């Protein structure tokens, strides 16, 4: 009997070449698949994620699924995998889901957080999870106005990196927020889906607004007109974290 298992996982993306399997590179997908194969050698293992994160990007609430035909009950997968995975990947919960449930296609939204350390001197303990950006103190009120303009369904072609296989660049931004806690500025964006490189390109423009190198009018004109050639600054990957994936039904207890 084949069971479909869904996991909610966390990972520090610093030492990985992104989520997706790549030949001769260490990836999160490949690492998890190798450990599942050690426990369930009866069938080829393919782990499907709700979102494919780039090299260096983190996740605190990634959701994945795989099919298992072995004897391990679903509630044992959390401890079984955590005992084998590296310290940079942790399984928070494992549940049994219907065979037609899909970590990616069943998802209704994804939520990302981008963290900026806006202090004048670097912070050793934040350097792997925040973009240290200090030219000026960021004006988060201007950044908030820019973010609010993104709400709703739009064509975000200006924030899409080359190499995407999507048929179009439409998506719906459902929620946005920005907050400052001392020198740390956090931006959260929730959308039905994200284009390839969308958040990092958007953050590059947003920081330019916060530094007053780009006006609100210029920011709006660039993305509304799809001027990808004028969007040249991408924020680094290590400030980005996938924090939540939303589904219509309640899947996990946490």
Q: Which two tokens stand for residue 137?
A: 């103190």
| CB contact at 8 A, 61 and 53 | no
Q: Which two tokens stand for residue 239?
A: 């400030």
What's the full length of the chain, in residues? Answer: 254
Q: Is 54 a catalytic residue?
A: yes
| CB contact at 8 A, 239 and 203 | yes
Apex 195 CA angle, 19 and 30, nearest 5: 10
Strand partners, 153: 172
Between CA 167 and CA 115 the distance in angstroms is: 30
> Mapping DSSP to helix (H, G, I), strand (E, B) and coil, where does residue 158 land?
helix
E strand or H helix that includes residue 242: strand 240-247
Radius of gyration of the chain (CA): 19
* Catalytic position from the list 12, 40, 54, 183: 54
Between CA 172 and CA 154 the distance in angstroms is: 6
> Residues 211, 179, 54, 38: what is their CA dihedral angle, to the nearest 10 degrees?
160
Q: Which two tokens stand for residue 215?
A: 């006006």
- Catalytic residue IDs: 54
């Amino acid at each position: 009997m084949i069971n479909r298992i869904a996991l909610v996982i966390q990972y520090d993306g610093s030492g990985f070449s992104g989520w997706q399997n790549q030949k001769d590179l260490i990836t999160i997908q490949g690492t998890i698949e190798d450990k599942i194969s050690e426990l369930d050698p009866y069938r080829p293992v393919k782990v499907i994620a709700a979102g494919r994160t780039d090299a260096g990007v983190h996740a605190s609430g990634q959701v994945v699924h795989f099919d298992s035909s072995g004897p391990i009950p679903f509630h044992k997968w959390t401890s079984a995998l955590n005992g084998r995975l590296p310290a940079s990947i942790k399984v928070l919960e494992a549940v049994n889901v219907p065979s037609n449930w899909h970590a990616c296609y069943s998802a209704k939204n994804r939520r990302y957080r981008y963290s900026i350390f806006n202090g004048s001197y670097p912070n050793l303990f934040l350097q792997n999870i925040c973009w240290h950006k200090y030219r000026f103190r960021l004006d988060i009120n201007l950044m908030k106005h820019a973010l609010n303009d993104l709400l709703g369904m739009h064509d975000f072609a200006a924030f899409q990196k080359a190499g995407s296989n999507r048929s179009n660049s439409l998506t719906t931004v459902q929620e946005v927020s920005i907050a400052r806690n001392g020198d740390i500025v956090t931006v959260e964006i929730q959308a039905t889906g994200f284009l390839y490189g969308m958040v990092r390109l958007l953050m590059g423009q947003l920081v330019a607004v916060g530094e007053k190198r780009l006006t609100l009018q210029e920011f709006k004109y660039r993305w509304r007109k799809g001027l990808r050639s004028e969007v040249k600054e991408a924020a680094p990957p290590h400030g980005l974290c996938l924090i939540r994936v939303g589904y219509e039904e309640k899947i996990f207890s946490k």
